[in-house]
Amino acid sequence: MEELISSPNTYASLQLSFKEGFIILFYAFLAGFLIRFLYIRFSNSFSSKSAYANTLLMVTVCVASLIAVVKSSLALSLGLVGALSVVRFRTAVKEPYTLSFILFSVCLGIAIGAGQNMFALSVGIVGTFISIYANQRALKGNKKTAKNNEVDTLSISADNDEAIFKALEVASFSVKTYSIKNISSNPNSECLATVGVYIESNEILKKIIKEISKQPGIKNVTFYNSPV
| Span 31-59, pLDDT tens digits | 999 999 988 888 776 567 788 888 889 98
Tell me, what's the pLDDT at 209? 78
Phi, psi for residue 85 in degrees, rounded to 5: -70, -20
Q: Which helix (H) or strand (E) holds 103?
A: helix 96-113
Tell me, what's the pLDDT at 228? 40
Residues paired with 194 in a beta bridge: 155, 182
Sign of CA dihedral 16, 17, 18, 19: negative
pLDDT at residue 200 above 80?
A: no
pLDDT at residue 20 above 50?
A: yes
Mean pLDDT for the stretch of residues 92-98: 70
Q: What is the pTM of this model?
A: 0.54
CA dihedral 164, 167, 172, 176 (to 10 degrees): -60
Tell me, what's the pLDDT at 30? 93
Tell me, what's the pLDDT at 149? 45
Q: Which among 174, 163, 153, 42 is positioned nearest to 95, based on CA atoms?
A: 42
C-alpha span between 67 and 62 (Å, rounded) = 9
> Which whole-number Å values give the CA distances from 208 to 4, 48, 128, 215, in the listed order?
87, 44, 48, 11
At position 11, the amino acid (one-letter code) is: Y
Mean pLDDT for the stretch of residues 65-93: 66
Tell me, what's the pLDDT at 28? 93
- Confidence tier at 157 by pLDDT (50, 70, 90): confident
SS3 label, residue 224: strand
C-alpha span between 21 and 81 (Å, rounded) = 22
